[in-house]
Structure 1
Amino acid sequence: MTVTYSIRMLSRLSGTSIETIRYYEKVALLPAPSRASNGFREYDNTIVECLAFIRHGRELGFTFDEIRELLKIARYAEEPWVDADRMTRDHLDALRSEIRKLQRLWRGLKQEADCYSRKSVHYKLLHPLAVPNARCRS
């Protein structure tokens, strides 16, 4: 006999709000639940595992579309690790690119902050507007 949970119990077990569970059903991250004779949703342990997987995927920065694809791979692929590895490596490459972009942004802001610390408030605000492409001159 399969153990089933109400949406309230699933919410407690998984640490996921009821609203979020319903949203995941709506956007097809979770399969439509079976219904009890009273019409209430019933969930089994596989949904608890799916919710943990979705949470972990979100913590790793995967989008809902990527998580949906990973869930599909896990369910239906002959060799799921091959496709999952490809998706994970693609995600790593995207993160590496984003990190580089953020590092460039950080260096630029740091340079501006260092420049501003040596200039007056008015100069800080107006100099870049008055002189296009102006750089800090020490």
Structure 2
Amino acid sequence: MTNKHLTIGTLSRMTATKVETIRFYEKSGLLAKPARTEGNYRSYAPADLNRLSFIRRARDLGFSLDQIRVLLDLADDRSRSCEAVDEIAKEHLAEVERKIADLKALQRELDRLLSQCRCGTVAECRIIETLSPLPLEVN
């Protein structure tokens, strides 16, 4: 496949990325504008497949588009120190750890609320009461 060019549909299927998302990545500069066929269809090279796969994997891991943009720029210059890559990864790890802490706090709160459930009526439900900033009016 080294000399084969890919259509946007093929690229989409190979990376499990919606066509609209691929176009968005092009517009935002994460993917280069592809070559065009004589019929004006997009024509992608294997390098585009690799780049899109990188973007997809980074998005799956929760990296922001701005972080991905910087990572791609760094990856394009293979001779650079990876110190900047490490900094982005450390920043992202800190964000992941904050989210985990938030989710654990949520888990504890939900456990607490569920332990108070007496399986009565909704009018007596502690979960509904906790979620409601003001008492719900009954009509």
Instruction: Indicate whether 1:104 and 2:105 are aligned.
Output: yes
Question: What RMSD over aligned residues (CA atoms) do the two structures have, in Å?
Answer: 2.7
Q: TM-score, normalised by structure 2?
A: 0.77
Structure 1 gap segments, 5+ residues each = 130-138
Q: Assess, with a 3 A threshold, how the Cα gap between structure 1 residues 14 and 128 changes in structure 2: closer, same or farther.
A: closer
- Asked if the contact 2:31–2:48 (Cα under 8 Å) also holds between the matched residues in 1, the reply is yes
Matches within 5 A, 1:85-100: 85-100=86-101
Identity %: 33
1:10 aligns with 2:6: no
What is the identity, as a one-letter code, of the residue corresponding to 2:82?
W
Whole-angstrom distance in 2 between the partners of 1:69 and 1:63: 10
Query: For residue 38 of structure 2, what is the aligned residue in structure 1?
Result: 37
Q: How many residues align?
A: 130
Distance 1:51 1:80 in 2: 23
Distance 1:114 1:45, change over 3 A: same
Change (3 A) 1:117 1:15: same
Shift of 1:119: 6.7
Whether 1:71 aligns to 2:75 is no
Partners of 1:67 and 1:53 lie apart in 2 by 9
TM-score normalised by the chain length of structure 1: 0.77
Report the structure, 1 or 2, having the larger helix content: 1
Q: Distance in 1 between matches of 2:51 and 2:24?
A: 14
Which position in structure 2 is the counterpart of 1:24? 25
Q: Please state how far the C-alpha of 1:87 moved relative to its aligned partner.
A: 0.6
Structure 2 portions without partners, runs of 5+? 132-139
Determine the C-alpha separation between the residues in 2 that align with 1:32 and 1:15: 20
CA displacement 1:3-58 (0-9 Å, x = unmatched): 32222232233332322211211122211112233322221111100111111111
Contact (CA 8 Å) 1:4, 1:42: kept in 2 or not? yes
Q: Residue type matched to 1:48 in 2? A: L
